[in-house]
Amino acid sequence: MYPSSCDTFVALPPSTEGQRIIFGKNSDRPCDEVQEVVYFPATDYEAGAKVECTYIEIDQAAHTYAVVLSKPAWLWGAEMGANEHQVCIGNEAVWGRESSDGDEALLGMDLVRLGLERADTAEKAVDVIAELLEKYGQGGSCMEDKSGFTYHNSFLISDRQEAWLLETSGKYWAAERVEAGHRNISNEYDITTEIDKEHPEMRQYAKNQGWWNGKAQFNFAGAYSYATPGLIEASGSRYCEGKRMLGKSNGHITAETMMDILRDKDSGINMEGMFLATGSMVSVVPTDPALPGVHYFTATPDPERSVFKPFIFVDNINPLKETTSPSYGPDDPVKKKPRFQSKPNRKHELFLKHELVSAIIESYKEKGKKITERMRKLEKENMTKMEELLSSGVKEAGPLVNLFSGSVKEEMALYSKK
């Protein structure tokens, strides 16, 4: 059985409170992996420029949008993130009848970052990822220490107006538009007969492989999923629990609702063990383009023991130093590529402090309870401030250039209190 990882959620009006889209994801990764939160400004490139992704070099776009990403420290791509146009993307590992073994190509995490850098709407992100899949393919180890761990990818993508579910199998794919209500995905194919976009040869390929007879109504999940559901059974229970919790709050889903779902351990959504939630994200994106989107990230494992900290896109954002991992230079003799870093040197400043506090919470019940209460209080105070901006708009952008970093420093100061 494959280890299951990640749950991604989106809620749109009328399932949310107010005219807002709420996006959320837990990134479940190996328990010793560090996840960082980083920001890259919009950039223009000369014709012929290249970009080195995790394993391969590809053509660079003429212009990339500003992005904030939550990403494993060792690779180029991201598990989840948002861009200046309020496009949000998260990916999921999926396994199906098409083998995921193959040469190194683009990782699903590379495609998350590329989609955010190159698309100003959710639908355009679908097109960007589909074009990159066709040109470069997907493949390569998705873990630094497990060369044989590979998978294909599904993506949940949202913007100010709608969401898209994009599911892939090799270079083949199908996409479904989500215009209202709520949707969640785990580690299994979920698109059935409602297909709004698709690879032009996707159906014929399934027919040639004997997965579809060409006569019955085409069902993407039915054709491309494993014939033996047991291989991904753990993801099914998480999916059902996630859907149930969203439904329970239908019509009243808020950022707090999404955070509570991501923190839920009984469902397995907040995963523990060899795989755990190494980073979490919740975004609040008003449908009104005059209002800012607020993107909350933990940058630390286990959202139950973490603080969701706000980020807003404004000009001249300062580097997120406290959540950016140290890296070696390209000439370091230990590793040729700076993305592959030795574990002791990869931990960023917030991660190191959080690691110590998590041990205290684990070992000392009363002291741990007090620390957790302080964390929740800080998170609530920040969310109250963000609510004013979400309702009234940004009147002065200057203080927001350090919004996320400032929140990180407040969290670290909290950890130092007696």
**What CA–CA distance (Å, rounded) separates 93 from 150?**
9
Residues in the chain, overall count: 418
- Count the neighbouring beta carbons within 10 Å of the beta carbon of residue 243: 16
Least Cα distance to 335 among 70, 74, 56, 139 occurs for 74
Annotation marks residue 31 as catalytic:
no
What are the DSSP E strand ranges found in 247-299? 275-286, 294-297
What contacts 367, CB < 8 A, 6 or more positions away?
A: 360, 361
Give the CA count within 13 Å in the CB-facing half-sphere of 223. 28
Least Cα distance to 77 among 131, 117, 121 occurs for 117
Give residue for tokens 């299951």. 4
Name the region of 173 (left: φ>0; alpha: ψ -120 to 50; beta: rest): beta
Least Cα distance to 45 among 103, 117, 113 occurs for 117
Least Cα distance to 28 among 87, 77, 79, 78 occurs for 79
The string of DSSP letters for 110-160 reads HHHHHHHHH-SSHHHHHHHHHHHHHHH-B-S-SSSS-TT---EEEEEEE-S
User: Cα(first)–Cα(last) distance of the chain, in Å?
Assistant: 45
**Which of the residues 6, 53, 88, 142 is marked catalytic?**
6
Give me the active site residues, please: 6
